[in-house]
Amino acid sequence: MIVVRMLLWVVAAKAAPSSAQAPRVQVFFANYKNEEDLYHGIQSHMLRQQLPLGDVMYTVLNMGTEDSVRMEHIAAMQVEGKTVSILEFSGYPAKAVGGAVIPYLLQRVDELTTGAITVISDSDVFLLHDGWDMYLEELMGVGYSLASINPRGESIHGPKSPFLDAPEWNWLAYKTAAWAGAIRVDNILPVFQEKQMHDWGHWFKYYNNEHTLGTIHLWPGLRLAFPGKSAIIAGLTTPFAVHCFFGSRMRNEKDLDDMARFVMTNDEKQRLYHIAVDPAITHSLKALDEFALKGE
């Protein structure tokens, strides 16, 4: 039965319609055994898309599946006519595990993208900003080469944070033409190691500035979505996205004393899913705080 289900979602993914012309925005989701978050994360992007139907393309780069039934639903999902395709990604050395896979994934995204703007989203990021796609076009049209969340800039570590004023790869958009051919493993790894960088997104800041590609726009972290937990709301005057650090570690690290306190409970996750996919909720910080704390 499992084999049949897996075949169904693979066939569905291959059969997903593609745009007749290059999209204006192409979104790539990185997934490793985190299908529940991924499902709601994709929905949050689709629900808040404002560009016409075929102008935004959604693609999952899948590195491992934990819940094959949920992956079937992702392959078959449609939100107001918008669809998602799933590509299996294994183009990295066997010795690369965890975060070490990311530079290979970044290179694959750059090889695959046909969009004027390319977006990379981790599976545990939920978009809250209506018209995020049109806003990206506005930014890229006035000299910005890169836009990214920066949830750890000051919200956790304070002014001495190694993440201060640096993009994070977990949700990052770039002007494809400005970066074409640059996002390669042989560009990323040597600099990352030499400069002892903390996040793969820090390489983007370094390369952008070294080659004068344009201005970087950041959505800094404003606050924790749940007190003491790792889900951080990023935005300026209004919320832009929530990144649930350790979102997939409920399964792997819930029994580790040094990590468990940062991981959301299932009830908190369900509340966050509700926020992510319910357009009726007013996305002000006050409304988010009240909903997260009270579950109303």
What pLDDT digit, counting tens, does each position of 211-239 carry? 999 999 999 887 888 888 888 889 867 88
CATH hierarchy code of domain 8-294: 3.90.550.10
Residue 14 predicted with pLDDT over 50:
no
Residue 39 predicted with pLDDT over 50:
yes
Under a CB-based contact definition with an 8 Å cutoff, are residues 253 and 259 in contact?
yes
Q: Which residues contact 166 (CB under 8 A, 6 or more apart)?
A: 150, 153, 198, 199, 201, 202, 205
Q: Which residues contact 282 (CB under 8 A, 6 or more apart)?
A: none
Closest to 61 (Cα-Cα) out of 83, 91, 88: 88
Residue 6 predicted with pLDDT over 70:
no
Amino acid at 150: N
Under a CB-based contact definition with an 8 Å cutoff, are residues 76 and 5 in contact?
no
* Alpha carbons 74 and 125: distance in angstroms, whole number: 16
* Alpha carbons 199 and 167: distance in angstroms, whole number: 9
Domain ranges, ordered by start, for the chain: 8-294
What pLDDT digit, counting tens, does each position of 122-159 carry? 999 999 999 999 999 999 999 999 999 998 887 556 67
Select the highest-mean-pLDDT range: 14-28, 97-111, 226-240: 97-111
What pLDDT digit, counting tens, does each position of 238-288 carry? 889 999 887 655 555 445 556 677 888 888 889 889 888 887 777 777 777
What confidence score (pLDDT) does residue 259 get? 67
